[in-house]
Amino acid sequence: MPADVSVIDLAKHYRVHEKDAGLKGSLRAFFARRYRTVKAVDGVSFSLAPGERVGFLGPNGAGKTTTLKVLSGLLHPTSGEIQVLGHTPHRRESAFLRRFTLVMGQKQQLLWDLPAVETFLINKAVYEIPAEAYAQTLKELDDLLELGPLLRKQVRKLSLGERMKCELAAALLHRPQVLLLDEPTIGLDVTMQVRIRDFIAEYNARHGATVILTSHYMADVTALCERVIVIDKGHLLYDGDFRSLAERLAPYKVVKLRLPHPALGERLADFGELVSNDGLNAVLRVPRARAGETAARLLGQIEVDDVTFEDPPVEDVIRDVFAGGLEARA
């Protein structure tokens, strides 16, 4: 099967001006600009088969969003061969634009002052969606996302999570085959994150759409993606199965404890690496493989008010591992 997305040796360089802090720095930058080339993406290659769900990981500024923007034709690549659905994205051919979507958790297309359905109607006309297909898609999205009454409320009166559901619906009305999702769950509470995640999985299963997802939440990637691509400083560091990456990158779990009195904190170091402890709140790192056993031992020996076991944030893990010089190669 031919690839839906194929990227060969993509590079995107920006020229940015630098300025030192303070008024003096600003004045100097105003009169004599110093420019520097930033290599946001530098020699990245990968390809996706139709229907694949891939997680894009990397610290802030790694080049994830830049790559997605090149794939959606917003940015012209500095060099490289990029094909999405057989098109060169930055030519922005209508046939291409009709077949993919880009959802950005940080930016919204919904009209702020009007109910979401007004934006939907504009997208219906923009994408020339026939009335029948529109009604059918809207019904399906309504079922999956439980939009119901949200569609008739002014967007400015919706909660962040409600708005994200409507954003997703607006972005999917034209039944795109390729979904580029940049932080679609950012700022949402856990329940809503799960809803959005389930929806993406269901949409992918029903329509066989290809999905690329970036997220700060490891759980998003865990739940949705078998394959991950890790980039850092514009370079590709890992492309492969998620499970081996998670073990490689996050060999520990984070335990957060609330204690009834400070004295107990002293003994915590026996259970794992003590990250922080202010007396009543403590954070521990315990090896992933022994998490269950450690939990049992901990609860048996120490009186706690509350305890949670979490995966560390993706960005932390990636930073830790990369800083530790661990070899992570496909």
Partner 1 sequence: MLKYLRLFALFVKSSILMELEYRANFIAQGTLGTLYAGISVVTVLLVFSQTDRLGGWSLDQGLVVVGIFIAFDGLTESFIQPNIRKLIDGIRTGTFDFTLLKPVDSQFMTMFRYMRLNGLMDFAAGVVVIVIALSRLGLPVSALQVLTFLVTLVMAALIIYALQLMLATSAFWFVKVDNFTEAFRALYDTARYPVSAFRGLTRLTLTVIVPIAFMTTVPAQALLGMLDGALLAGSLAFGLGLTALSVALWRRALRSYSSASS
Binding site for partner 1 (CB under 8 A): 14, 64-65, 69, 72-76, 92, 94, 97-98, 101-102, 104, 106-109, 111, 113-114, 118, 121-122, 125-128, 154, 182-183
Instruction: Show Cβ contacts of residue 52 under 8 Å, excluding neighbours closer than 6 positions.
Output: 4, 210, 211, 227
- Count other Cβ atoms within 10 Å, centred on residue 301: 11
Least distance between partner 1 and beta carbon 126 (Å): 5
Q: What's the min distance (Å) between Cβ of 16 and partner 1?
A: 9
Residue among 75 and 321 whose Cβ is closer to partner 1: 75
Q: Which is nearer to partner 1, 129 or 147 (CB)?
A: 129
Smallest distance from partner 1 to CB 89, Å: 11
Looking at the Cβ atoms of 42 and 294, the one nearer to partner 1 is: 42
| Residue from 222, 204, 232 nearest 57 by CA | 232
Q: Write the CA distances from 96 to 38, 99, 308, 319, integer angstroms.
A: 29, 5, 46, 36
Tally of CA atoms within 13 A in the half-sphere of 77 that contains its CB: 26
* Cβ atoms 251, 228 nearer than 8 A: no
In terms of CB distance, is 29 or 307 closer to partner 1? Answer: 29
- Least distance in angstroms from the C-beta of 212 to partner 1: 14
Q: Coil, strand, or helix at residue 84?
A: strand
Residue nearer to partner 1 on the CB measure, 212 or 286: 212
Question: How near is the Cβ of 263 to partner 1 at its closest, in Å?
Answer: 45
Please tell me the distance from the alpha carbon of residue 63 to that of residue 80, in angstroms, as a whole number: 15
Reduced to 3 states, what is the DSSP secondary structure of residue 306? Answer: strand
Separation CA 293–CA 197 (nearest Å): 30
- Comparing CB distances to partner 1, the nearer of 105 and 312 is 105
Match 């291409």 to its residue by tokens.
96
Q: How far is the CB of 125 from partner 1 (least distance, A)?
A: 5
